Amino acid sequence: MAHADLAVWTTHMVMTQLAFTSFQKGVERIAGRALGIVVALVLLTVFRNAMHLGFAFECLALLVFFYVYFSNRLAYTFLNAGLYLAVIMQIGRADPYAAAPEGGRMFLAIIVGVVVADLVCWFSGAERDLTIQTSGAPFFPLDRGRLGQCVMLVVTVAISQLFVEYFALPASATLVSVMVLTVVPDLHQMLRKGGLRVLGVLLAMAYAFCSFVLLVRLQHFPLLVVLLFVGSYLATYLAEAGGDWAYMGVQMGLVLPMILVVPSHEFGTMTTALARLEGVVIAMACALLVGMVVAAFSRAAPAEPT
């Protein structure tokens, strides 16, 4: 199955750090990513011969998605929509014919991960609530504060896309980090979240390295499953009981399948984890740049003497 790691870490993401229920988080993940993929494919089709115009409409769509996100109404849906819109558009700009098949393969992996998570929760009795909470702030009249946050985030995403495209850097990992890190309310929290993101990746790499040592000597699939279970358990425990360090556990559980659940020719490498580290660094640099520019232009003029 293509993107098998995506199916595995989707279960981890759906079942940790819940705003409401894992069922709602799974539904929102599916709906958001489907929306992002569809909008991206429409833009790539309509503006196939005018990619610059397509990029402008992508930014407009991101502005709408992020405004709904900051309204806290089905926020996870629209964060995922923005994420996959940017990722599929980036794939389409590199190869227009690869966007639809790649989007389909990613979406199938997400469906598998969410369905498995929901079945385990249902049959274990851990969760029986199938309601979807849609409360949040009203969209109208437009809130200038939220709109300003959205513009900053769209500008950061746009700069990141241009940067990774120009230098041929890992686009997907960078865009994920940009959106996840820059939705926090201030620069201090963004830097802290970025640091925990890096620590989570390093923990996953350390655990994966120990797993490789065992699996090279004992090449058995059940052993791989056991090692993945133990690593995921440790990551989830840290995410649930880690307090201020909980986000590090979320990242560890997300990155571990990216290293262990891969095609045979990629097994034993840390390429995906290293790409994620690069993405975090690029995302933090772009967010800091935009934040400093905005701060420089938004300083209040000194009051006139009375």
My answer on whether 200 and 87 are in the same domain is no
Asked if the structure places residue 241 within a domain, the reply is yes
Q: Identify the pLDDT of residue 294.
A: 64
92, 2: one domain: yes
Both 6 and 107 in one domain: the answer is yes
Same domain, 108 and 2: yes
Q: What is the pLDDT of residue 274?
A: 82
Decide if 163 is inside a domain: no
Tell me: do 39 and 116 sit in the same domain. yes
Q: Does residue 144 fall inside a structural domain?
A: no
Q: Measuring CA to CA, which residue among 95, 84, 37, 45 is closest to residue 53? A: 45
What domain range includes position 40? 1-127
- Same-domain status, 191 and 271: yes
Residue 18 forms part of a structural domain: yes
Cα 245 from Cα 237, distance rounded (Å)? 11
pTM for this entry = 0.85
* Cβ(56)–Cβ(154) below 8 Å: no
Whether residues 3 and 120 share a domain: the answer is yes
* One domain for residues 94 and 190: no
Residue 93 lies in a domain: yes
* Confidence (pLDDT) at 297: 62
CB 216 within 8 A of CB 261: no
Q: Is residue 159 part of a domain?
A: no
Q: DSSP characters for the chain?
A: -TTHHHHHHHHHHHTSS-SS-HHHHHHHHHHHHHHHHHHHHHHHHHTTT-HHHHHHHHHHHHHHHHHHHHTTSSHHHHHHHHHHHHHHHHHHHH-TTTHHHHHHHHHHHHHHHHHHHHHHHHHHTS--------------SPPHHHHHHHHHHHHHHHHHHHHHHHHT--HHHHHHHHHHHHTSSSHHHHHHHHHHHHHHHHHHHHHHHHHHHHHHHS--HHHHHHHHHHHHHHHHHHHHH-GGGHHHHHHHHHHHHHHHSS-GGGTT--HHHHHHHHHHHHHHHHHHHHHHHHHHHSPPPPPPP-
What's residue 185's pLDDT? 61
Residue 22 lies in a domain: yes
Residue that terminates a domain, selected from 86, 110, 127: 127
Q: Count the Cβ atoms, other than its own, within 10 Å of residue 228.
A: 18
User: Is 290 among the domain residues?
Assistant: yes
Last residue of a domain, one of 109, 127, 145: 127
pLDDT at 17: 81
When divided into structural domains, the chain yields a total of 2
Could you state, in chain order, the average pLDDT of each consecutive group of 10 residues for the chain (306 residues)?
A: 88 88 94 95 92 92 93 92 91 89 94 94 89 86 86 85 76 72 70 88 94 91 95 94 91 92 84 80 76 62 39
Last residue of a domain, one of 127, 148, 164: 127
Determine the pLDDT at residue 295: 64
112 & 215 share domain: no
